[in-house]
Amino acid sequence: MDDLTNPHPSPESTSHPTPDPTIWPGPGESPPPWPRIDPYAPVATAPVERPRGRRTVALVLAGSLAAATIASAGTAAFVLGTRQDAAPGTANQTSSTATPSPISLAGLDGSSVVNVAKAASPAVVTITTVTGSGNGPFGSATGVGSGFIYDAGGWILTNYHVVEGDGTLTVTLNDGRELPGRVASTDEAHDLAVVKIDGSGFPTIPIGSSANLQVGQLVIAIGSPLGEFTDSVTTGILSATGRSVTVADQATRQRRTITNLLQTDAAINEGNSGGPLLDARGQVVGLNSATASGAQGIGFAIPIDAAASIMASAMTH
């Protein structure tokens, strides 16, 4: 032991053998007044401050999310990053002259959600895709997603990644009927597709507008999470608009960026893809498409206005 009464010990006296942590202090020995230093303890470092901005946000999300999957069982992709498309004051902001949407959480209660669910659920469908014959070395693959009927003649809007490939489509209606479906039109850039089933007089959901949506307003998602819990209804708020996500197909790993998405905290899970995102009036304002699986309450939907063109052109052609 060193002489602790000497305030200026000689250089030789400052060299101490590393104490054995299993016996230190020894029997009848009191710990010395200096703090014990564990030579094997990890060294603490100060956090590195990064400049804030769109690029920083994208890098942090890309590195911190283990995986964010497109919400469709068997037809998944990974969200690699996300960003806000435009800075404050640019075109993505609602103009001061635009008519604000009257839909908000104020004055709404559970009965509003009940009424929307009753009116919309009959038009929400489950889409099952089977690819491969089952006789080859890779067998067959099954994917499950959602969709909704927007025209009584059997026209259904869903996500492109739900029906991607040369698979066989089966559309299960709310009443339990199973009908064969075919892809009538696709828009891969916006992850949209229209599926047609034969028949008429099908229930439909009214189409709204995503132009004047306000952050904080009530939104309602309906779909078939996990491909099993059909007609599931979840609620939340519109968390943000103008989001962009970079996704990579689970099978091919090919990346693409989908822009101008709606962000919501309404629960969205695998199998919800293609299902409607509705406002408190029961009108479709978005198409549920992706969820960040490594986070809570971060889902993405395609604004319904982006689907207007493909919905109309599929029916005319």
Active site residue 111: no
Active site residue 273: yes
Q: Give me Rg for the CA atoms of the chain.
A: 28
Active site residue 191: yes
Options 72, 101, 273, 293, the catalytic residue: 273
Options 72, 161, 210, 279, the catalytic residue: 161
Cβ neighbours of 142 (radius 10 Å) = 16
Nearest-5° angle of CA 86, CA 102, CA 150? 80
Dist. CA 144–CA 223, nearest whole Å: 11
The one-letter amino acid at 216? G
Residue 123's Cβ-count burial label (10 Å; 0-12, 13-18, 19+) is: buried
303 bridge partner residues:
286
Residue given tokens 């490939």 in the structure block: 165
Options 72, 112, 121, 191, the catalytic residue: 191
Residues sharing a CB contact under 8 Å with residue 292, sequence separation 6 or more, in sequence order: 65, 68, 79, 82, 298, 299
Give the residue numbers annotated as catalytic, written as ranges.
Answer: 161, 191, 273
